[in-house]
Amino acid sequence: MRKKDTLLVGLMLFALFFGAGNLIYPPFLGMEAGESFWWAISGFVITGVGLPIIAIAAIAIVKGGAEGLANRVHPLFGLVFIMTVYLAIGPFFAIPRGANVAYEMGVRPFVEGGPVLLIFTIIFFTLAYFVSLNPSKIVERVGQWLTPALLLTIIALAVASFINFDQTSLTPNDKYETTPFFTGFLEGYLTMDTIAALAFGIIVINAFKQNGVTDQRQLMKKSITAGAIAGIGLAFVYISIGWMGVKMAHFGTYENGSEILSSGAEILFGAGGKLLLGLIVLLACFSTVVGLTIACSQYFTRHTTKISYKTMVTAIILFSFAVSNLGLNQIISYSVPALVMIYPITIVLIALAFLHRFFKGSQMVYRGAILLTGLVSLYDGLTAFGIQMNFITQLVELLPFASIGLAWLVPAIVGGIGGYILDKNKNNSNQGDNPKQAA
């Protein structure tokens, strides 16, 4: 396989991860982190860039992709978990977020008053519905043009902000004052790219297989190389627009990252710059929403054969439309607790994929690690939803790293070790019951 082909797969992976929705988080992080920006963005890049790339590599070494990995815990867990992943990157969060970012940057800055979001989402999702019913190369080709256009626009914004914005950084927001690195680490969950990588991984693997790469070791090596290419691009984008957010804090207060980018484009390039950025983001979001609608509809149709593809598209579009009208800030706020629950489980599954050979693929190790991780992350998610459990809170606060949002880490290790010990004891007991087999 030629190096050029690996480069092309890396650029494809960059395009898959580089959703317009992800642009809203780094600028807001930059505005809130202020002087602590570099610590905060370092944590953000680990979860927003590093973990997705590692996830792609993990999928490359597992037969059956993400479903095969999750099935190592239990087939029922695998089904529920992967369905949850598709719901998260589909109608629950990513699709409504994409529609709202399109509205916030492509429409809202230019209109005032009235039920504009409602009218916009009716038009937006009606078009998305008809395009999703007839999947074609149009959206793919449009996406191939829009991703470079969006990237060039972001580069222009970043360079102009470096040249023109010379204000000093402000004092960090309370949550970035004491542990900026780990706060940024948790903020990286919001990109959803690590869980999206579970779905994207098979696309990357198939791309390499079509180019003649079949050896598992080579697949992982090529996947890591392609991931590094995508990761460099993503890190550059996140750091650049995050730094822009640091400087934009001097120009006022903003409710989300889309407002920061839109205002920054206007300050640097005038109304024309804001209009161009808004139009590109709107079209890019539309392409992303259609792609996610098609992917989710195909997945759920494959697992629920009694429901037609058209019916599934209709259900996803209607649900996404309803969620979209909650508004961007509300979508972000309710997605946080859910992602706090999903992400630790995803991270542990990825880690176990690489450690698989050291414990000989024991199912008990997978179950023990996921069980304890799931219990703690469930608590963290419910707490983030505002549900108070004082007694349990006192216990969780005793866990190492609880103060930095990683209370699940030690339980995951303990659960894995406990599963390994139980599996060993079970095997020894079976050998004792069958002395001839043991001999």
Q: What is the pLDDT of residues 100-111, one digit of tens each?
A: 999 998 888 888
Residues 6+ apart with CB under 8 A from 100: 117, 324, 327, 328, 331
Quote the pLDDT of residue 69. 93
pTM over 0.85: yes
Residues 130-145: pLDDT tens digits? Answer: 988 886 665 566 666 7
The answer to whether residues 172 and 34 touch, using CB atoms and an 8 Å cutoff, is yes
Statement: residue 303 has pLDDT above 90: no
pLDDT of 99 = 93
Give residues with Cβ within 8 angstroms of 364, minimum separation 6: 419, 420, 422, 423, 426
Mean pLDDT of 28-47: 94
DSSP one-letter string for 1-64: --HHHHHHHHHHHHHHH--GGGGGHHHHHHHHHGGGHHHHHHHHHIIIIIHHHHHHHHHHTSTT
Greater confidence, 224 or 5?
A: 224
- The CA-CA-CA angle for residues 140, 143, 146, to 5°, reads 160
- DSSP letter, residue 120: H
For residue 212, the model assigns a pLDDT of: 81
The closest of 68, 379, 20, 22 to 192, measured between CA atoms, is 22
Q: How confident is the model at residue 200 (pLDDT cuts 50, 70, 90)?
A: confident
pLDDT of residue 40: 96
Helix axis angle, 363-384 to 409-433, nearest 10°:
150
**DSSP three-state, residue 262:** helix
Mean pLDDT of 326-348: 92
Q: From its phi and psi, is residue 332 left (phi > 0), alpha (psi between -120 and 50) or beta?
A: alpha
Residue 379, SS3 per DSSP: helix
According to the model, what pLDDT value does residue 65 have? 84
Mean pLDDT of 159-180: 85
Q: What percent of the chain has pLDDT over 90?
A: 48
Per-residue pLDDT, averaged over 251-260, amounts to 88
Average pLDDT, the chain: 88
Tell me the average pLDDT across 391-396.
90
pLDDT above 70 coverage of the chain, percent: 95
**Which sequence spans correspond to the domains of the chain?**
3-325, 336-439
> Can you list the positions of beta strands (E) in 196-236?
none
Given 3.40.50.720, 1.20.1740.10, 2.60.40.420, 1.20.1640.10, which CATH number is that of 3-325?
A: 1.20.1740.10
Which pLDDT score, from 0 to 100, does residue 149 have?
Answer: 81
Q: How far apart are CA 45 and CA 299, in angstroms?
A: 29
Q: How far apart are CA 226 and CA 206, in angstroms?
A: 13
Q: For residue 143, what pLDDT is reported?
A: 60
Better-scored residue on pLDDT, 86 or 214: 86
Nearest CA to 14 out of 203, 182, 176 is that of 203
- For residues 196 and 84, the answer to whether their CB atoms sit within 8 Å is no
Pick from 68-77, 189-198, 202-211: least confident: 202-211
Structure token digits, residue 185: 């680490």
